[in-house]
Amino acid sequence: MVDDYMNDTSAEYYFRMVQESQQQFDDIVRRRRNVIERYREEEALGNLDNYFQMRVDVIRKKGLSPLQNCTVAIRMLTYGSPADNLDEYVRIGESTAIECL
């Protein structure tokens, strides 16, 4: 019985378990569909107006997305939301929200 336990906890056992789990993972991955993000909304906004384009600053940090800018403007117009109220929802500052409008 001790010999059986020693054989089960050997490196071969663990290697076999890793191979089986890798095989299961590969099977799951093969069954999934490949989805390609197109970001069509943002492309259309960028073509319409230069303001609604993604910009990168000097330290290569991405700015606000065109979708964020558009969402702020639409929410302010539709619901009459004040600019400082949208900071928590869209993560955009008051002055930038007013500029988007």
The pLDDT tens digits for 74-94 are 888 998 888 888 777 788 888
Q: Quick one: 7 and 49 in the same domain?
A: no
Q: Which residue did the predictor score with more confidence, 47 or 62?
A: 62
pLDDT of residue 86: 78
Mean pLDDT of 52-76: 85
Q: Quick one: 47 and 92 in the same domain?
A: yes
Q: At residue 9, what is the residue type?
A: T
For residue 21, what are the domain limits? 2-31
Determine phi and psi for 7, rounding to 5 degrees: -70, -35
Phi-psi bin for 65: left (phi > 0), alpha (psi -120 to 50), beta? beta
Q: Quick one: 46 and 81 in the same domain?
A: yes
Contact indicator for 101, 73 with CB cutoff of 8 Å: yes
Q: Which residues contact 66 (CB under 8 A, 6 or more apart)?
A: 41, 42, 45, 46, 52, 53, 54
pLDDT of residue 14: 74
Q: Quick one: 92 and 44 in the same domain?
A: yes
Q: How many domains does the chain have?
A: 2
Q: Quick one: 63 and 94 in the same domain?
A: yes
Q: How confident is the model at residue 2 (pLDDT cuts 50, 70, 90)?
A: very low
Q: Quick one: 93 and 54 in the same domain?
A: yes
Q: Quick one: 55 and 93 in the same domain?
A: yes
Q: Quick one: 6 and 54 in the same domain?
A: no
